[in-house]
Structures are given as C-alpha cells and as structure tokens.
Amino acid sequence: MATIPAGSGEHRSSTVLYDLMFGHVYASALRAVVDHGIPDLLGEGPRAVEELAERSGTRVGPLRRVLRLLSERGVFRESAGGVFGLTDVGEALRADVPGSHRAAVLWGTDEVFRRSAEGLGETLRTGRAGFEAAFGTGFFAYLAATPEKGRVFDAAMTSLAAQYGNDELIRECPFPGTGTVVDVAGGQGGLLRDVLLRHPGLDGVLFDRPGTVERHLLDVDELKGRWRVEGGDVFDGVPPGGDVYLLKNILHNWSDEDCLRILGSVRRAAAPGSRLLVIDAVLPEDGSPHPAVGMDTVMLMLFEGRERTATEFEGLLGRSGFRMSGAVPTTTLLSVVVAEAV
C-alpha cells in the first residue's frame, strides 16, 4: 500500500472519508459504554479499567480498547496505567447531571436510526422514508405500537430540548403578560414548564398523545393551578381558547401537506389575533452551511418531513390562515417564526 505523506491533501481527504465510513463504529461504541453505565461509574473521578470492568460486568480487554477509541474522540481521558476519567463531553453522558445527554444518545444510536439510515439508498430511488422501508409502517404509528420505544423517544426529546436552550428560546418569544399558552404536540412539557416559570401571568395547556402527556413534567410547586394536560391527535384538532400556540420541532417532521393539516387544526382552534410561535430550524435562503442540514437528512430517513427556509414557512402559514411577521434567529439551532391568526 502506498504511503500517504503526512499533511498532504490526499491524506486529509482520506481522513475525512474514513471518519465518514466508520461513523457507525463510534456510535456503537458510545452506546455500549452508556448501556453499561461507564460514565456514571466515573462520576466521582477517574478509575482503573480493571475496576470499571468489574463494576460494570464487562471484560477488561475489550473495555480498555473501546474507552481508548472514545478517548481519541474526546469523551474520556486516559492516564498512565489504564486509568480513565471523564472529559466535559463525557460528563454529559451521566444520568444524574442537569441537561444529561444520556437519553438523546440512547435514542440517536437506537436501531430505529441505524436501520432507517440503511434505507437511504431506497429513499434516493423512491422517495420513501428509510424508516418505513425498514419497519413497514410510519414512524409515529410504530411508536404508538411499541410503548418502550415511545418512552425512549419522549425522554430523548426532553433531553434534546434542554440542549437547544429553552431559556434562550423563551427570551426570543413574544409572550403576552397574561393569557393561555397551548403547547401543541409539546411532548412531556419541558418547554411549557419553563415558559410558565418565566412568565407568572400565563397559564398553560399541554397537548400531545395520551401516553406522552401522562409523563408530563409540569407538576412543580410554583405552577400549581396554572396548567392542565390534554391527550389527543393534532390532526383531529387541538384545544381551543389559546392566546398563544406553540409548535416546537413539529412541522419539520411532516410533509407540506401534513403541515397544512396541522396548521389547519391550530387555526380552527385559534381566534383571530391569536399568536402562533413555530420554533424550528430555519435554513438559509442561499444554501449556505447550517447545522440543521444534518437534521434535514434525519427527517428524510424517518419521515416525509424536512427543514425549511423562512420563505417556505411563510407560504405554509399563509395558506393556513396565518400572517407571518418574521423569523427570529437564536444562538441555538432553532429560530422562532412568529405569526398571527387572521
């Protein structure tokens, strides 16, 4: 095999390609150490690999090799004598830390993603979502039929929401001083909880699938008497009477046709003048790089959804009885698209 000179363009190209080729190896290694609780065992400080293996029920040799791989990716830190500790990245994998990424990692490395990604070749040929090709049904129908996956999904969405920075998003949302906020398909209510904590004059309604809202996060002392949950299907209708309706990370899951159905449900529930806040990634109009481009491919894998530009959001909203007034960027992946029912 020919030697590639260090630092050459050919070497750099090969490195990029090998990282892409073996990306699934890193994901599998990450899932393995999280499954075996290695980050939690390191929560109190570095430990020898022999102790980690004994306490996690794993074998010393394979564990050392996997930890070394992830150390090269900045998840762990290896010291002399086979002692491993957590980096800042690894700390986020512990189950007991605020803003833990553990649930998100378990979801992102689940077979749902792996098998959906394997179907991308068919997606390119037929347009059919990789998930549907792999599992023979739609994504949300699958979650409804497999409650254990639904629980993993809900926990991951709560974890990812924390990573997007609810505080930053809420600061950019034009909430009134008083009124009712309806969080449509709001998951376990992490965003709604933070909205109500920040705005004491507001009440809230959490609306999502019955099994999801049963696991809500709203039962905190500061919010007593200011919220209720309601289970249902967004395509059938949403709770009426809201002064503000929230749709966070919802429309990107769906085709334009389904987005119009969702927005139609919201518009039927909303009185003229009610505000709609769509919190989603907004892609640049000129095709310049954006961190949501990767998420756009995930949408291609799992659903018939997609990330959209501000112009595309404006078109959907206009066809649904809303007037869009702007899209406010934030320091997170997401923007706040502001509209009003007309």
Phi, psi angle pair for 227, to nearest 5°: -150, 160
Query: What is the pLDDT, as a whole number, of residue 80?
Result: 92
CA dihedral sign, ordered 263, 181, 282, 157: negative
| Domain spans of the chain, in order of start | 9-93, 105-155, 165-341
Give yes or no for a contact between 53 and 33, defined as CB atoms under 8 angstroms apart.
no
Q: Which residues of the chain are under the pLDDT cut of 70?
A: 1-11, 162-165
Q: At a CB cut-off of 8 Å and minimum separation 6, what does 84 contact?
A: 42, 46, 47, 48, 49, 52, 67, 71, 76, 77, 78
Other C-beta atoms within 10 Å of 222: how many?
A: 9
Q: At a CB cut-off of 8 Å and minimum separation 6, what does 326 contact?
A: 337, 338
Using only C-alpha atoms, what is the Rg of the chain? 22
Query: What is the pLDDT, as a whole number, of residue 3?
Result: 44
Query: What is the pLDDT, as a whole number, of residue 1?
Result: 40
Query: What is the pLDDT, as a whole number, of residue 162?
Result: 66
- CATH entry 1.10.10.10 includes domain 9-93: yes
One of 3.30.950.10, 1.10.3720.10, 3.30.465.10, 3.40.50.150 is the CATH number of 165-341, namely: 3.40.50.150
Active site residues: 252
